[in-house]
Amino acid sequence: MVLEFLNELSHDFTKLLENKQDSDFSITIGSEPDNVKVFHLHRLILRARSPFFAAIFNLTTTKTNTNKIGEFSKNADSSNNQLAIKNEDLFKNTSPAIFEVIVKFLYGGAFNVKTHSLDELFEILVTAHKFRVKSLTSYLEEYLTTKRADDLRQKFAQLTKIVYENSSLTKLQSFHNDATENAAETIFECEDFTSLSEATLVSLLRIDSLRLKEIEIWEKVIKWGIFQCQNLPADFSSWTARHFETLRVNLSCCIPLIRFFDISSEDFHQKVLPYQQIIPDQILKDLIDYHRAGYAPITPILPSRSPFMYSSTLLRKQHARFLSRAIEGSSSINGISTPCINSTSQCSYEFRLILRGSRDGFSPSIFHRFCDGKGPTITVIKIANSEKLIGGYCPFSWQSKGGYQYTTESFIFQLHEQTCKNGILSRVVDPTKAVYFWQTFGPGFGNGPDLALRENFKDPSQSFCRQKSYEEPIIPGADRRRVHFTTEEYERYDGCSPSFIARSPGRVNLIGEHIDYAGFGVLPMAISRDVLIAVSYEDTNNNNGEIVVEISNIQNTRYPDRKFVYQGKERVVDIENEEGVVEWGNYFKCGYKGALQYLQLNRPKGMRCLIDGNVPEGGGLSSSAAFTCCAVLATCFANGAQLNKIQLTEIAASCERFIGLGTGNMDQTASICSLLDHALYIEFLPTLTPTPIKLPTINPPLAFVIANSLTKADKVATAPTNYNLRVVETKIAAYYLGRQLFDKDCEILRNVVDLYDSDNHKKGVTIEKLNALSHEIDRLFEKKQEGYRLSELSILLELDVSEIKRRFIGQYTIRAETFHLYKRAKHVIEESLRVLKFYEACVRGCDADDHSKSEELFDTLSKLMNQSHASCRDLYDCSCKELDQLVEICLGNGAKGSRLTGAGWGGCTVSLVPLNMVNSFIHNVREKYYRPLFPNLSKAELSNVIFATTPGSGAAVIIDL
């Protein structure tokens, strides 16, 4: 039996470093005079552990004086026979602290990554590489590129410098290249973006497949350029011609690579035109003419970026554009020798790589595993020892069996690997044998087969063409005989255009916070920021007979692709919720499940969705509701359901319960039912009734300015102590008030108000009823306003604790020791009063013949907003110190009224500001709130955290694409 005591051995060897007397050479590390250390080491150990030191010791056996590696000389104490090594070129730039880590590893073989920062790990890696400590170098490369990949991308400038200076770090080099080729957009978000070299930035700007909006790229380039300049004033308004010239010179290699004509007119005027002095004169003139009058540019322009061109080794951009047009049916067989589309056209289909032979395999089983059930696909094959690409388009999902399939839309083709010129496009002429499905075949087209790969795709006897079912052969001679070829490489892409785009906006609540789920009316409006879902759908399922839904996000590095299978009418789809964790795909699943449970379809469509959005997350602008509403709308439309907006709203409002949220209907109603240029007064009982309300014309006109506190309110993760708890508290308060005042059980506070109807009151919610109930709340809770424990609630309500949990908590997850009935009920009733008063003031303002009382109306609306915030802060406890500070700054810099909006506990404020003061108001809030608390925000980022808005339109489906 062999006993191993490696830890003890490691410890004992490391202890040798503490004993100078036994050492037989020394090495000086660092730069004099401040950071130098002499290490006393042992030749025998380092000769065995490091090829670098072994080479040095071999040199010193013949040379004891100066040589090209460094100065090698005997120690002054010759009796010790020590070798002293001092080499300025090799060692002066090495950190003594980092070298000590390397030495301890060489002696003890131990290293703990958790005790070092990322910057330190970088330095340890480079130093280990320099001293040829291969085991530590290999370990750190593997660790950084797998366990710390996200952190590595945030240090891309540093990573680039390392791989350029150390080309033999192959794993790091591969990671760097992959990030540049496949996820270049993430580099624009890295922490050290402004430290990128000019050459790196230029190489990024040349990439046609960047998944970023061009205005985002422009803003990043400006940020980079400003960082490179010295002494540019922080106040942009004080820049002189000299400052702009400095920036122009620094960006001279970048400006020509910006796709200016892909920037919207609004963004051009707001974010590009202020820098007009750095843009070449003719390009600037073309841009101004284009945005003002729609004139075509005179100067040559770069083609639009195609964000859906994934890292193909075979297809070029022009190939993708040609195939896109061929799918649409507009490329004629004889017209390929001339450009199919102009050079600035954007590829209208998504070409997503799903299979590559050299990466995944060249067999039919691999082909069907990756391609079956994926919808329309394109196969591209590189013929060995030639410059030719051949392939074909299948307009539906591949399957492992089924034989010949009918279609009039398929085609096969031949292209040169560099160009589309003199290529061949061959459309199907026998649609009954257009495509062939079988488990021993990969792609099969026609009865010839006109193009087929089977068994082993690399075997030329299994790869062939024989023209029969398509217009013409794609390989010379295939019209007369079967022509075999050798497959060097092949790739498959799923390529489809969306059938439609669903849109749902975010919303800002002008007044009426946390009262919708108590049954009272609210007054929100839709904003221009929204969620978009591009959808393609089909009847065909995968080869297992399953109905599959795939969702992707434009920001796919942050939100990875998700895929799920339809589970039947009742179950629909499984939604797994982990407390404190928000899974982005669950919001889509909520809408999908709610829609299909409502529709009760036997076989819904399979769907593929691409999602984008710009509603700030956790900002109180209902980003999650906008997403869920959009998913409901997309699912219903894809399945042919003809529903009105109220039906869509009711489905969407029920959906978020699937992820453990108890919500009212306000967010969904505002997102779906809003009308352009109107706010929306929403009543929930007796039925959902949205009423558009025109905001009054006031002199000066009013604007609503949204400001994000940048304190994120994670609605799901904090629900047990915040949102869900408030729902439960209001339900308990409603029950208590109903029993005390009317001897009736009431589920929500609105039910209590409705009981006044039998007491000579007008039906519905009125100011008189709300005032009466507010006084009763003060009376009943006069002696107990601080809250109740569960045991106290049991006495108050005359219910067992178990019954309280069953009746009021039920499906909600909550965590609480005290339940505040008075504060929650008081807020809900008083806030409902403010909504009615706000609504009535707007109606009176619109009905007035003149605007002589504009200031009085402005003051009324502002006062109600300010009271609302105070109530949210003091009674509902849903504000936070950042929101309170932001409201105070807004009120001190031009806003007449300001309040938190949304669920609270972070998120945004909404402020009522005279239109003629909006610019100065935004500037002052930036300087007094954002600059001190968030000094690293760029100008572009600042423009996204505070902005003015007007009432926007509600959800819609775009079908004319």
Angle between helices 821-847 and 854-874 (to 10 degrees): 170
The SS3 assignment for 880 reads coil
- Name all contacts of 107-116 with Cβ < 8 Å and 24+ positions apart: 107/13, 107/14, 107/16, 107/17, 107/45, 107/49, 108/10, 108/11, 108/13, 108/14, 109/6, 109/10, 110/10, 110/14, 111/136, 111/139, 113/140, 113/143
Q: Considering only CA atoms, which of 561, 551, 607, 543 is closest in space to residue 369?
A: 543
- In sequence order, the β-bridge partners of residue 911 are 705, 898
Query: Is residue 793 a contact partner of residue 800, using CB atoms and an 8 Å limit?
Result: no
Residues in contact with 759: Cβ distance below 8 Å, sequence separation at least 6, in sequence order: none
Q: Considering only CA atoms, which of 175, 183, 174, 179 is closest in space to residue 210?
A: 183
State how far the Cα of 275 lies from the Cα of 267, in Å rounded to an integer. Answer: 12
> Measured in Å, how far apart are the chain's first and last C-alpha atoms?
75
Instruction: Tell me the chain's radius of gyration from C-alpha atoms.
Output: 34
Per the residue annotation, which of 667, 714, 745, 759 is the catalytic one? 667
H-state helical runs in 695-815: 723-742, 749-754, 767-780, 790-797, 801-804
Query: Is residue 820 a contact partner of residue 793, using CB atoms and an 8 Å limit?
Result: no
The angle formed by the CA atoms of residues 628, 634 and 636, to the nearest 5 degrees, is: 105
Q: Considering only CA atoms, which of 702, 673, 649, 661 is closest in space to residue 510?
A: 702
Q: Considering only CA atoms, which of 955, 841, 909, 950 is closest in space to residue 513?
A: 909
92: buried, middle or exposed (CB in 10 Å: 19+, 13-18, 0-12)? middle
Query: Is residue 816 a contact partner of residue 721, using CB atoms and an 8 Å limit?
Result: yes
Q: Which two tokens stand for residue 683?
A: 């009543």
State how far the Cα of 109 lies from the Cα of 553, in Å rounded to an integer. Answer: 44
Query: Is residue 914 a contact partner of residue 894, using CB atoms and an 8 Å limit?
Result: yes
- In sequence order, the β-bridge partners of residue 465 are 483
| Cis bond upstream, residue 33 (ω within 30) | yes
Please count the other Cβ atoms lying within 10 Å of the Cβ belonging to residue 377.
24
Q: Considering only CA atoms, which of 670, 421, 375 is closest in space to residue 535?
A: 375
The amino acid present at 714, given as its one-letter code, is D
Please count the other Cβ atoms lying within 10 Å of the Cβ belonging to residue 803.
12
H/E element, 424 = strand 424-427
How many residues in total does the chain contain? 961
Q: Which two tokens stand for residue 258?
A: 């910006």
| Residue 450 designated active-site | no
710: buried, middle or exposed (CB in 10 Å: 19+, 13-18, 0-12)? buried
- In sequence order, the β-bridge partners of residue 704 are 912, 949
Query: Is residue 498 a contact partner of residue 960, using CB atoms and an 8 Å limit?
Result: no
Q: Which two tokens stand for residue 773?
A: 């109930």
Q: Which two tokens stand for residue 433?
A: 């044998």
The amino acid present at 849, given as its one-letter code, is D
State how far the Cα of 616 lies from the Cα of 523, in Å rounded to an integer. Answer: 20
Query: Is residue 728 a contact partner of residue 517, using CB atoms and an 8 Å limit?
Result: no
Residues in contact with 936: Cβ distance below 8 Å, sequence separation at least 6, in sequence order: none
H/E element, 932 = helix 931-933
- Catalytic residue positions, numbered: 667
